[in-house]
Structure 1
Amino acid sequence: MFDDPRGPIEKYLWGSFVINGEEHSGSGDDRKGKGKDIMITAGVVRRWKERQGHVLTESMVERVLESGCDILIIGNGAEGALEVPDSVIDYLNDNGVARVMVLKTPDACRAYNELFRKGMDVALLAHGTC
Structure 2
Amino acid sequence: MFDDPRGPIEHYSWGRFLVQGEEHSGSGNDRKGKGKDIMIISGDVRRWKERHGHILTESMVERVLDCGCDVLVIGNGADGALEVPDTVIDYLNDNGVARVMVLKTPDACRAYNELFRNGLDVALLAHGTC
Using the TM superposition, give the Cα deviation of residue 4 of structure 1 relative to its aligned residue in structure 2, in angstroms. 0.2
Using the TM superposition, give the Cα deviation of residue 105 of structure 1 relative to its aligned residue in structure 2, in angstroms. 0.0
Partner of 2:83: 83
CA distance, structure 2, for counterparts of residue 81 and residue 106 of structure 1: 13
CA distance, structure 2, for counterparts of residue 66 and residue 32 of structure 1: 26
Structure 2 counterparts to residues 1-130 of structure 1, below 5 A: 1-130=1-130
Indicate the RMSD between aligned Cα atoms, in angstroms: 0.2
Q: Deviations over 1:58-78 (max 9, x none)?
A: 000000001010000000000
CA distance, structure 1, for counterparts of residue 53 and residue 14 of structure 2: 17
Q: Deviations over 1:23-58 (max 9, x none)?
A: 000000100000000000000000000000000000
Q: Deviations over 1:53-106 (max 9, x none)?
A: 000000000000010100000000000000000000000000000000000000
Give the unaligned 5+ runs of structure 1: none
CA distance, structure 1, for counterparts of residue 65 and residue 112 of structure 2: 17
Give me the identity figure in percent: 85
Give the unaligned 5+ runs of structure 2: none
**Structure 1 residue ranges, 4+ long, deviating more than 2 angstroms after superposition:** none
CA distance, structure 1, for counterparts of residue 81 and residue 122 of structure 2: 23
Normalization by structure 2: what TM-score?
Answer: 1.00
Local SS of the residue matching 1:66: helix
Local SS of the residue matching 2:96: coil
